[in-house]
């Protein structure tokens, strides 16, 4: 599937809780969630902590939902990220890295907002 054909909400070939870091995830976020122009040059949101921080701030500002992220005690899933719209009903993801945790949560938040 070409990047230009991707739409959040119609995407059937990924699970936001398990999607892996990489250029496909970065492109999906850049083009579909941030609505940036199609190009082959975009930040490595899913592998670079600084790019993930920039993404996090942009999504928090756009959706008005603060994210919380931190380390877990779990082997393999060392990072969590979550947001809470309704008190007592948080949405949380786990990931191997901080950038991937942020990206997974961004996908979930964008899908919920559609």
Helix (H) or strand (E) holding 112: helix 98-113
38-42, 47-51, 58-62, 63-67, range with greatest mean pLDDT:
47-51
pLDDT at res. 12? 52
Output the six-digit token pair for 30: 């850049």
The predicted-structure confidence for 69-105, as pLDDT tens digits, reads as follows: 999 998 888 999 999 988 888 999 999 999 999 999 9
pLDDT at res. 76? 85
Determine the Cα–Cα distance for residues 68 and 89; give it in Å rounded to an integer.
14
> Average model confidence (pLDDT) for the chain?
88
Q: Could you give the domains of the chain?
A: 3-113 (3.30.2120.10)
pLDDT at res. 38? 81
Q: What is the pTM of this model?
A: 0.86
pLDDT at res. 13? 67
pLDDT at res. 59? 94
Distance of CA 15 to the CA centre of its chain: 12
């Amino acid at each position: 599937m070409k990047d230009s054909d991707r739409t959040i909400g119609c995407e059937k070939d990924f699970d936001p809780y398990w999607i892996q870091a990489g250029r496909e995830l970065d492109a999906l976020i850049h083009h579909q969630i941030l609505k940036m122009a199609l190009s082959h040059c975009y930040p490595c949101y899913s592998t670079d902590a600084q790019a993930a921080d920039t993404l996090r701030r942009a999504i928090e500002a756009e959706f008005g939902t603060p994210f919380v992220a931190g380390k877990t005690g779990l082997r393999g899933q060392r990072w969590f990220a979550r947001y809470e719209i309704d008190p007592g009903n948080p949405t949380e993801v786990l990931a191997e890295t901080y950038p991937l945790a942020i990206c997974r949560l961004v996908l979930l938040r964008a899908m919920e907002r559609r």
